Each structure stands twice: as structure tokens, then as C-alpha cells.
């Protein structure tokens, strides 16, 4: 059984919650991070209680909060072995019509989806270098193609580039970097226009994460693209 420390942002639901379940089964001690932690309290008790699971309220848009959290985890639990920069949000956008969310709401998505993983990586990588650990980032199949009027897709393009930039800088450090790119996943926020489309379950993506981190330390799974059967490549 693994005994490392596994930090997951966006852990209150969806892919983050499903990954926490599998990581606990694999024997990791968990740091479950979210803006709102009410949903995490019961899960933490079920997955092992305070000796095995640490619930942390943290806004990944705020560098000071992310940095302080990582420092505290390393100080109190002795290190970090896996960090899953998973927190993300989505809003509907259009550049030519009034459809979707108004532009003032777009900033939260950009900060969460781009600055969030960047801040998480910057805070965690010194600890991961010390442990020879693993950084995992949640991208999206939407970050591999053009989606008309879709700013969410652009933020996930940014995560694709971020993962490549981090991996290049980590050459020679022993740190592994994996970008997981899910297709449409049933995390509770699917727009009505795609309600009938094929979907992944969060646990499907979680298994991909555990596959990547479960490889020998000489193997770096750079990218995993996983879509539900029947999803169009351009969706």
C-alpha cells in the first residue's frame, strides 16, 4: 500500500472527489482542497479521519493561500508525493451574441482554470522535487480543438501549454508531469444542449489519474486523452 501524501484541488465533487476515493483505497494520505469544504467533512471521515485525510479550505485563485497551504502540508506531514491540480469551472460564452454568461463572469473561470493550476504547480514543485513526486493537471479534450465562441476551451488550451512548459522545466529533477484530458464528464454542470451526449463518469477519469501515478518512477505518462464512446472528436 502506498503511504505518500496526495493533494487534490477541486476535491469537493466530480473528478476530484472520485480521485480521492481511489487514492484512499491505494493507501495515500489525502489533502482535500476546495473553496467550500462542507461537502468534504463527511467524505474525510469516511476515507480515514484526521490521521489520513486533511480537509483544507483554499481558493486556488489566491497565490498566498495556495503557497501557505503547501508549506503547511510539507511541514506537518513531512512532504508531498502527488499533487493533482484539478480545480476548474466553466461558463457559457459567446463573442458575437448575448447568449451565455455575461463577460464580467468570465474572469473567475480564467483565474481558476489558468492561474489556479499555475499557482498550484509553482507552490508544490519545490516539495515535489524534494520527494521525486508527480504533478497531475486536469486539462480537457476541449483543449485540443477549436470550439466556436468557447472561452472555456481557450483556458484548457492554456493548461495544455502549461503542462508542457512545466514538464520541460522539470527535466532532470525526477518529477513526473501528467496532463489528463477528459472528454464530456458528468460532473453535474453539463449544459442542456449536451444533456443527451455520451458522457464519462468522474470515476473513469480518476482511474486514468491512478494509472499515471502508478507507473514505475522511470515512466512519465505525459498525456492521457479519454473520451466516452461515441463522443465526436470536435466536441
Catalogue the active-site residues.
Answer: 152
Instruction: Show the CA angle centred on residue 212, arms to residues 53 and 172, nearest 5°.
Output: 100
> What does the DSSP 8-state code read for residue 105?
G
Q: Are 79 and 127 in contact (CB under 8 A)?
A: yes
Grid-cell match 489558468, residue found: 114
Residues 6+ away with beta carbon under 8 Å from 215: 221
Q: Per-residue b/e over 113-143, b at no fewer than 16 CB within 10 Å? A: bbbbbbbbbebbbebbeebebbbbbbbbbbb
Q: How far apart, in whole angstroms, are the C-alpha atoms of residue 161 and residue 179?
A: 10
Q: How far apart, in whole angstroms, are the C-alpha atoms of residue 61 and residue 22?
A: 26
Three-state DSSP at 39 gives: helix
Q: How far apart, in whole angstroms, are the C-alpha atoms of residue 122 and residue 70?
A: 10
Q: How far apart, in whole angstroms, are the C-alpha atoms of residue 20 and residue 47?
A: 8
Q: Are 44 and 98 in contact (CB under 8 A)?
A: no
Amino acid at each position: 500500500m502506498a503511504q505518500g501524501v496526495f493533494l487534490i484541488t477541486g476535491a469537493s465533487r466530480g473528478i476530484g472527489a472520485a480521485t480521492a476515493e481511489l487514492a484512499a483505497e491505494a493507501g495515500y494520505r489525502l489533502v482535500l482542497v476546495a473553496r467550500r469544504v462542507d461537502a468534504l467533512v463527511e467524505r474525510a471521515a469516511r476515507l480515514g479521519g484526521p490521521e489520513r485525510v486533511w480537509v483544507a479550505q483554499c481558493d486556488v485563485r489566491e497565490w498566498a493561500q495556495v503557497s501557505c497551504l503547501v508549506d503547511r502540508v510539507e511541514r506537518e506531514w513531512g512532504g508531498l508525493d502527488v499533487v493533482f491540480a484539478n480545480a476548474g469551472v466553466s461558463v457559457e460564452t459567446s463573442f458575437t451574441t448575448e447568449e451565455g454568461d455575461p463577460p464580467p463572469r468570465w474572469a473567475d473561470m480564467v483565474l481558476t482554470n489558468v492561474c489556479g493550476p499555475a499557482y498550484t504547480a509553482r507552490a508544490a514543485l519545490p516539495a515535489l522535487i524534494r520527494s521525486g513526486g508527480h504533478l497531475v493537471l486536469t486539462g480537457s479534450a476541449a483543449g485540443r480543438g477549436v470550439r466556436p465562441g468557447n472561452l472555456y476551451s481557450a483556458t484548457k488550451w492554456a493548461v495544455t501549454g502549461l503542462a508542457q512548459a512545466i514538464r520541460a522545466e522539470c527535466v532532470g529533477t525526477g518529477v513526473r508531469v501528467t496532463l489528463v484530458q477528459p472528454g464530456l464528464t458528468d460532473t453535474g454542470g453539463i449544459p442542456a444542449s449536451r444533456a443527451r451526449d455520451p458522457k464519462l463518469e468522474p470515476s473513469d477519469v480518476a482511474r486514468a489519474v491512478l494509472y499515471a501515478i502508478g507507473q514505475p518512477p522511470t515512466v512519465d505518462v505525459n498525456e492521457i486523452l479519454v473520451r466516452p464512446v461515441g463522443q465526436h472528436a470536435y466536441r
